[in-house]
Amino acid sequence: MDEKIRLSHGDGGSETHQLIKNVFYKHFNSSSSDAMPDSFVFEAIQGRLAFTTDSFVVKPLFFRGGNIGKLAVCGTVNDLSTAGAIPLYISAGFIIEEGFSIEKLHLVAKSMGDLCNQIGTKIVTGDTKVVENKNADGIFINTSGIGRVSEFYNPRRAEPGDEIIITGGIAEHGTAILIDRYELSVEADLISDCAPMCGLVVGLGSKLRDVKLMKDPTRGGLATALNEIALEQELSIEVMEESIPMKSEVRAVNEILGTDPLYLACEGRMIIVVEKGFEKEVLQCVKTLDYCNQAGIIGQFVSASHTMVYMNTGFGGKRILPLLEDRTLPRIC
Amino acid sequence: MDEKIRLSHGDGGSETHQLIKNVFYKHFNSSSSDAMPDSFVFEAIQGRLAFTTDSFVVKPLFFRGGNIGKLAVCGTVNDLSTAGAIPLYISAGFIIEEGFSIEKLHLVAKSMGDLCNQIGTKIVTGDTKVVENKNADGIFINTSGIGRVSEFYNPRRAEPGDEIIITGGIAEHGTAILIDRYELSVEADLISDCAPMCGLVVGLGSKLRDVKLMKDPTRGGLATALNEIALEQELSIEVMEESIPMKSEVRAVNEILGTDPLYLACEGRMIIVVEKGFEKEVLQCVKTLDYCNQAGIIGQFVSASHTMVYMNTGFGGKRILPLLEDRTLPRIC
């Protein structure tokens, strides 16, 4: 019989200890017997550190291409990557609904541990809380992370002419969630792009000198992320519709549903702003890296009297891409 | 009319931006207009750093002596304090239920910002998610923290004869939550002990050399924390019942309810293990510090064939204090 989470798993007593030992220690410290302390202590290193946090409430918890655990580690690793940082240490805070399957908890924790092993980072501290039935939705996870910032990365203001790269096809995560949440009968071979982007920081190496900023297009998708960049940089952005990588399955599903893939989340993509003149060599390098073989230049910064993001469409027209105003898909991450 | 949280406040678009700006930036950066980035970058420092995380699901959200926001900052600051660390940077991740009052969100965020100002730390990065009505319980908060470990603090194994200090009266937080959750008509002038303990690290200064370990008795209370210490140190602990500081109101309320204050949470207390022979000067110093004037020596480590925690009662008997087995009060933090 599938054992369930009880309130007593969260009261700090012996059942909490057993749960932490049997599930979290098992999957997070596969190669050692180190216990996770309330506070993890480490020797500081020279240089710059990055610190980030994200809470995850994705629905459904398991989706094509991942689950909330994998997503939680990727999300925090990718936030560190936007700062040019390699992940050093990750924390994991769990809020679990009474009655949640312990077997599923194992699957979630295993995904987290496996991914950390894969990218050479570690979950070093954690916390587990349990709330009553109907006071949460299965499981929520917070991951925070500390990373070491590459010596080569010095983010700076964009200027007109600077080029914009996206590392792969857009909207695959958002579309995968849509399909699974509403149990659409789609035969498309489409999974979430959920992936860790830290290989980009390592792989670009000294070429990070030519990168002015990075941003991962998660909630609100590519269009929202570009708007945030444009506002921050006080410049307009022009993108070419036909240069935006998008799988035909993504296009087809979104056409059927009437959703706009430009506003649907990616969870394994990065927007890279490259100093004018260096875009080709940066792109060439990016395309050789994991999860990045579909990378392409999608647009550039332009000066304009009003800060905005617009797209040159395949039909020769211009479409303004506003900051998301309407309610779109909730709980995609 | 009190405005409510909508799902669109969590979709990453313009309403999310407005909420973050109007509520979180306002209370977290009161003295500056710095925006909170996805990743916060800082220069590493010499020495050791501590990293910790905690999620908070306390019920009710507002209680005598505090609210979930104050508790979240205190909890993470206190976890850092147990590692001998002064808080440098705090992150805040919010999971908010659709329909939650924005006025209450202001109160929670203000408590967090005010407390950070008071202790000289800062919330530097954050995240906001919104889930549908009945998919959470008002608001859940995760705080993670990075602290600088005192050069004087070198935790080490306890030995028989080492003394145990508690910094103040026990069970005040747990009892306050009990009173407010069940709306008991108690006239007692009792509030949660919820408080930041980082002043202890600063105040003890070089006397931290004589401290072997620290632990905050939160979930499961003093008895559970002592059991965890005993297990970890593979030693028994003997405490004297009459030396444990406890307000008469705490005693009275727990007698009426049939609850055991030894197992009820503190959120502004610290257990300090001091090397034998140094307990008096450490205690003398501790008693001068904020939130610590009721500090006292409550027991010591003893060698025994079985690791256990026992209490010499006021009646001349011995009572074993086991690791919490039964379900006690859920959601006290």
Q: What is the pLDDT of residues B285-323, one digit of tens each?
A: 999 999 999 999 999 999 988 899 999 998 889 999 998
Chain A residues within 8 A of B7 when measuring between CB atoms: 327, 330
Average pLDDT rounded to a whole number, residues A22-38:
74
Percent of residues, chain B, with pLDDT higher than 90: 84
CA gap A66, A77 in Å, rounded: 15
pLDDT at A18 over 60: yes
Helices B172-181 and B248-257: crossing angle in degrees, nearest 10, is 50
- Residue B33 pLDDT: 45
Among A175, A166, A138, A330, CA closest to A253: A175
- Residue B270 pLDDT: 98
Tell me if B219 and A11 make a contact (CB, 8 A cut-off). yes
Tell me if A125 and B17 make a contact (CB, 8 A cut-off). no
Instruction: Please tell me which residue of chain A has the smallest CA distance to B331.
Output: A131
- Residue B13 pLDDT: 80
- Residue B38 pLDDT: 78
For residue B44, give how far its alpha carbon lies from the nearest alpha carbon of chain A (Å). Answer: 5
Q: Quote the mean pLDDT of chain A.
A: 94
Percent of residues, chain B, with pLDDT higher than 70: 97
pLDDT at A249 over 80: yes
CA gap A147, A78 in Å, rounded: 11
Instruction: Please tell me which residue of chain A has the smallest CA distance to B216.
Output: A38
CA gap B195, B289 in Å, rounded: 12
- Residue B151 pLDDT: 97
pLDDT at A30 over 60: no
Give kind and range of the element (H or E) at residue A249: helix A248-257
Tell me if A11 and B328 make a contact (CB, 8 A cut-off). yes
Chain A residues within 8 A of B72 when measuring between CB atoms: none
A25 backbone dihedrals φ, ψ, rounded to 5°: -60, -40
Sorting pLDDT into bands at 50, 70 and 90, what band is A1?
Answer: low
Stated pTM of the model: 0.96
Distance of CA A276 to the CA centre of its chain: 27
pLDDT at B145 over 60: yes
Average pLDDT rounded to a whole number, residues B94-106:
98
**Cβ-based neighbour number of residue A260 at 10 Å:** 16
- Residue B283 pLDDT: 98
Using CB atoms, pick whichever of A16, A79, A125 lies closest to residue B52: A125
Average pLDDT rounded to a whole number, residues B261-267:
96
HSE on the CB side for A239, CA within 13 Å?
A: 27
- Residue A32 pLDDT: 44
| pLDDT tens digit sequence for A291-302 | 999 999 999 999
